[in-house]
Amino acid sequence: MEVEENRMKETLSAKVRPGRSLAALHVAVMLFGLSAVLGRGVSAPAVLVAAGRVLFSSAVLLALTLREGKLPRLCSRRDYALALGTGAVLAVHWTTFFLSVQTASVAVGTITFSAFPLYLTFLEPLFYRERLRAGSILNAAVLLVGVAITIPEFSFQDQIAVGAAWGMLSGFAYALMSLANRTLSVRYSARTICLYEQGAAAVLLSPALLLAGEYWSWENFAGIAAIGVVCTALAHTLYVAGQKGVRAQTAGIVSGMESVYGILYALVLLGQRPTLRELVGGAVVLLAALTATLRANSR
């Protein structure tokens, strides 16, 4: 048994090809962008959408895990605390993200959320004692410019600005999650990490189900189920797996493409035409994401 555990640790800690990791990240981000559109279409409060999302996703992950064997255990109390604490941050992230999308628009919500690499640029070297790279600072600055272009007026009396503020808070929560997942992904599989994190988020958000009766409809149920199963259980697993082969800052920059995918989905599925500001901001974000991808492939 000891030999098997050592083999598992060696496998999980083995170096993953950056190209494969980046492919997983891009597919995950495409699905994340779809969740914004589905969340916008659901006529229910953001906290209820977030609660349904994690309940569906954690149920799917639990079923898949039990089908293959017993529930995996973590190695230490510290890891349990880190995983469950990250689940609490995840609950904040998804609730504020849907608040942003519902308050402003899909474009504003996804673009402002994409500012989280800015936080990673300074938090990652602090947490992991790494050198602060000039290229990372430049990429984060470009993303911040893209976000600023999107907001027409910096006033909390403006609905777009309020939605943008929720998006920025969502991005900060996601930055903290990315750092925690970088630590956990060295020792555990992506599914195990997602199961513990999303399970913790589901427990914390479960009181929101008291609102379910008031907003019940088959359309809302189907939308939330799709967000939970496809855009969360599948997408989040791919994202955590992809983080193993790249730095958190690179994964964060790639995630900036969520705004581009979200804008395209909103145009096709909801008929939301992006404004000139949103198009320019999205283009800036896309440029930063592509730059980070090319840099990671060249390493």
Q: pLDDT tens, 254-280?
A: 766 777 788 888 888 888 787 888 788
In sign, the C-alpha dihedral spanning 158, 159, 162, 168 is negative
Q: At residue 224, does pLDDT exceed 90?
A: yes
* Helices and strands of the chain, counted as H and E runs: 14, 0
Task: State the pLDDT at residue 253.
Answer: 67
Task: Report how far residue 59's alpha carbon sits from residue 62's, in angstroms, rounded to the nearest whole number.
Answer: 5
Most confident of the ranges 28-32, 78-82, 274-278: 78-82
Long-range contacts from 5-10, C-beta under 8 angstroms, 24+ separation:
9/187
Check whether 10 has a pLDDT greater than 50.
no
Q: Find where tokens 């659901």 sit.
A: 42
Mean pLDDT of 159-176: 88
Q: Is 171 inside a domain boundary?
A: yes
pLDDT of residue 83: 92
**What pLDDT band is residue 292 in, cutting at 50, 70 and 90?**
low
Q: Does residue 1 lie in a domain region?
A: no
Asked if residue 210 belongs to a domain, the reply is yes
- Band the pLDDT of 17: cuts 50, 70, 90: low
Q: Which range is least confidently modeled, 30-44, 69-83, 237-251?
A: 237-251
Using pLDDT thresholds of 50, 70 and 90, give the confidence band for residue 2.
very low
Question: Considering its fold, how many domains does the chain have in total?
Answer: 1
| Domain extent at residue 142 | 18-298
In a domain, 157, yes or no: yes
6 in a structural domain: no
- Residue 59's pLDDT band, with cuts at 50, 70 and 90, is very high
Average pLDDT of the chain is 80
In the predicted structure, residue 11 carries a pLDDT above the cut 70? no
Token pair 């929720």: residue? 166
pTM, full prediction? 0.79
- The answer on pLDDT for 204 being more than 90 is yes
> pLDDT confidence of 293, banded at 50, 70, 90?
low
Q: Is residue 10 part of a domain?
A: no
